[in-house]
Amino acid sequence: MNKKESRQFNISVEGAVCEKLYFEHLALLINNSSRNIYNMQVKPKRMSPFEYAKRNAYKPVEKRGRNKAVPYIHIQDIEDYYDEFQRNKFYSVISEMRNAENKFGITYELGYTNYTFELWMLLHVTNMNNSVRDRFAYLAHINRYFNKHYTSLDEFKNADEFQEILSEYITLDSVIDAVKRAESLVRKNKDEQKVKEEYKGIVFYRDNPDVSVHEIVKMILEVCGVK
């Protein structure tokens, strides 16, 4: 790891494995490259946004362009907007973010995937512009593009397996490619006039595929000065 000044990112995540390992891996990619101005410092925690902010809001936050504070970040799946339980679960996360902002005087940004984090992973290696019938349909794409033979998504989410995929397929260049593919996906949703939903300032498309994790990752790259 090169000895450069670091930038701290406060990230809470939904999942126990994938999201945490991904952002730790992203930090390694940035910090071991010669393309960054600042190193990325992060310790993602599986916590609700409010609980994470409660434990960390006393810490100073970094600055980005125009003297704006680097926001707290939460990573969350929508999973299925049309399932009442999943929809209310997603809304409750947004409500927690807003409550944390009001309580602790911070800002929070959400990186979501619709349906799941598997979509974001696949965008590192291919375009994912077509909808799938349910989140389990990503298994075939995972097996194809990561050269695996999993029989369930749980196998993909195994820490050792996921770390192996990160090590083999997720490079700094593939991260930048994923951001570009995600931006193209969002433009396609707009061009097709897909139905948008808004809840407490968070705007998203009801139907998959949709994603905003790339906005978080792009911000991290920019704050760290990655070229």
What pLDDT, on a 0 to 100 scale, did the predictor assign at position 2?
57
Q: How many whole angstroms separate alpha carbon 31 and alpha carbon 4?
A: 8
**119: number of Cβ within 10 Å:** 23
Percentage, residues of the chain above pLDDT 90? 91
Query: Within 10 Å of residue 28's Cβ, how many Cβ atoms?
Result: 15
Count the neighbouring beta carbons within 10 Å of the beta carbon of residue 181.
Answer: 22
Question: At CA 72, angle to CA 70 and CA 74, rounded to 5?
Answer: 135
Global pTM? 0.96
Residue bearing the bigger pLDDT, 16 or 219: 219
The beta strand positions in 66-221, using DSSP E, are 72-77, 108-114, 196-199, 202-205, 210-211
Tokens of 58: 């006393």
- What pLDDT, on the 0 to 100 scale, is given for residue 72? 97
Peptide bond into 209 cis (omega under 30): yes
Token digits of residue 83: 């399932």
- Cβ atoms of residues 152 and 142 within 8 Å: no
Length of the chain: 227
**What pLDDT sits at residue 68?**
84
pLDDT per residue as tens digits for the range 14-65: 988 999 999 999 999 999 999 999 999 999 999 999 999 999 988 888 888 7
The rounded mean pLDDT for the chain is 95
- Tell me: cis bond preceding 115? Omega within 30 of 0 counts: yes
36 C-beta neighbours (distance < 10 Å), count: 21
- pLDDT for residue 3: 75
pLDDT tens digits for 165-204?
A: 999 999 999 999 999 999 999 999 999 999 999 999 999 9
What are the backbone angles phi and psi of residue 96, rounded to the nearest 5°?
A: -65, -40
DSSP helix/strand/coil, 87: helix
Q: Do 106 and 60 touch, CB atoms closer than 8 A?
A: no
Residue 92 has pLDDT above 90, yes or no: yes
Give the mean pLDDT of 157-171: 98
Residue among 78, 82, 93, 105 at smallest CA distance from 210 = 78
Q: Where are the domains of the chain?
A: 6-223
For residue 187, CA distances in Å to 16, 113, 125, 176, 209 come to 31, 15, 19, 17, 12
